[in-house]
Amino acid sequence: MNKSSKRFLALSHVMLMLLSVFLVAPFILLIIASLTEESTAIKYGYSFFPKVWSFEAYQYVLRNSGMFGRAFLITIVVTVLGVICGLTISSLMAYVITRRGIPGGKILTFYVIFTMLFNGGLVATYLNYVQIFHINNTYWALLIPNLLCNAFSIMMIKNYFQASIPEELMEAARIDGASEWKIFFQIVTPLSKPILATVALIMGLAYWNDWQNGLYYLDDTSMHGIQNVLNDMNSNAKYLMQFAGSSGATIPTTTVRMAIAVVGILPILCVYPFFQEYFAKGITAGAVKG
């Protein structure tokens, strides 16, 4: 390796380390802010080196574990169900439109692509879900709208099927008498772990971070997920008062938001390493033009 290559490699390492620091710094600041004493955070703002440390925000979360626990449980259940259902629907749809000669295949492909470019808009979507499907004030409102199945996921999986799974393999299975269901579940699905894991992660993040559907369709705050609870707290500090204890203690409205945000990202941080192995490969292969 010549000197020029060594300098470039050293510079690349430095740039990547700086970039890593910039990416991690906000999370570190978030954690430190949640451990800052309330009055200190209000007076001096957030800092990497706060003057006074405090666990008051986390103590408040523990005292109101019923509310926050319910919100976390709702978010976890909706995320798991949404990923399972969405991944199943998207992968089945992607498999169908990759089959050559299937009746209506081109129409289905056009329909999927068309929905990537155009939609009915928020008002029409809201009226359909509320007046026709009546999902308002039900848990279906957190599961179905805009998240359960989308054209982007279908096209990513479709491109992966076409680019990474040999057609000859499926033709050989058909010659041996395998049905389409058997081919899909026993051949295609096991070979598609990278893209399925990638899409599952994207869907999971979308469900976990979603607060708009709860805002649009749910009037009952007891059905809110953790992101809606955090949004309510950010938009109205008085929201905390209805869950305050009878002790009359001061509620850490500033730092408790940070504490809930920290607790909210922990599941994502715990799950992501298990998907990281497939993420880069799935994104690259799924983006190949089919």
d(CA 145, CA 66): 27
pLDDT at 234: 65
Are residues 164 and 256 both part of a single domain?
yes
Asked if the structure places residue 57 within a domain, the reply is: no
- Structural domain contains residue 62: no
What is the per-residue pLDDT for 176?
86
Task: Give the pLDDT of residue 116.
Answer: 82
N-to-C CA span, the chain: 38
Q: Does 245 map to a domain? A: yes
Q: State the pLDDT at residue 243.
A: 53
Q: Are residues 93 and 166 in the same domain?
A: yes
Read off the pLDDT of residues 134-154 as tens digits, 9 standing for 90 and up: 998 999 999 988 777 788 889
Give me the number of domains the chain comprises. Answer: 2
Residues 14 and 114 in one domain: no
Quick check: is 59 in a domain? no
Which one is predicted more confidently, 272 or 8? Answer: 8
- Per-residue pLDDT of 52-110, as tens digits, reads 888 888 887 787 777 778 888 999 999 999 999 999 999 999 999 888 777 888 888 88
Distances (CA, A) of 144 to 1, 94, 133, 139, 148: 55, 19, 11, 9, 5
Find tokens 């805002």 and name the residue: 215
Percent of the chain whose pLDDT exceeds 90: 12
pTM: 0.78
Based on the fold, state whether residues 10 and 152 are members of the same structural domain: no
DSSP-assigned beta bridge partners for residue 53 = 36
* pLDDT greater than 80 at residue 119: no
Range of the domain at 12: 3-34
Is residue 220 assigned to a domain?
yes
For residues 167 and 28, membership in a common domain is answered with: no
In a domain, 58, yes or no: no
Give the Cα separation of 120 and 130 in Å (integer). Answer: 15
Least confident of 87-96, 123-132, 137-146, 224-233: 224-233
The whole-number pLDDT of residue 237 equals: 53
- 43 lies in some domain: no
Mean pLDDT of the chain: 82
Kindly state whether residues 22 and 83 are assigned to the same domain.
no
Statement: residue 231 has pLDDT above 60: yes
CA distances from 155 to 11, 12, 19, 197, 288 (A): 37, 34, 31, 15, 10
Distance, CA of 288 to CA of 290 (rounded, Å): 6
Most confident of 8-22, 53-67, 94-108, 247-261: 8-22
| Residues 27, 23: Cα–Cα separation, whole Å | 8
* Residues facing residue 36 across a β-bridge: 53
112 and 8: one domain? no
Q: Are residues 23 and 104 in the same domain?
A: no
Cβ contact 53:72 at 8 Å? no
CATH number at residue 268: 1.10.3720.10
What pLDDT is stored for residue 249 in this prediction? Answer: 52
Q: What residues contact residue 74 under an 8 Å CB cut-off, 6+ apart?
A: 139, 142, 223, 224, 225, 226
Checking if the pLDDT of 233 tops 80, the result is: no
Name which residue leads in pLDDT, 207 or 281.
207
Q: Do 8 and 105 belong to one domain? A: no
Residue 240: pLDDT band (50, 70, 90) is low
pLDDT at 166 over 50: yes
Same domain, 198 and 109: yes
Q: 182-203 pLDDT, tens per residue?
A: 989 988 988 888 889 889 888 9
Instruction: Let me know whether 9 and 147 are in one domain.
Output: no
pLDDT at 280: 58
The mean per-residue pLDDT over the stretch 200-223 comes to 88
- Judge if 163 and 82 occupy the same domain: yes
201: phi then psi, degrees, rounded to nearest 5: -65, -45
Nearest to 151 by CA among 120, 108, 197: 108
Interval 246-272 mean pLDDT: 73
Q: Is residue 157 part of a domain?
A: yes
User: What's the average model confidence in pLDDT over 233-261?
Assistant: 63
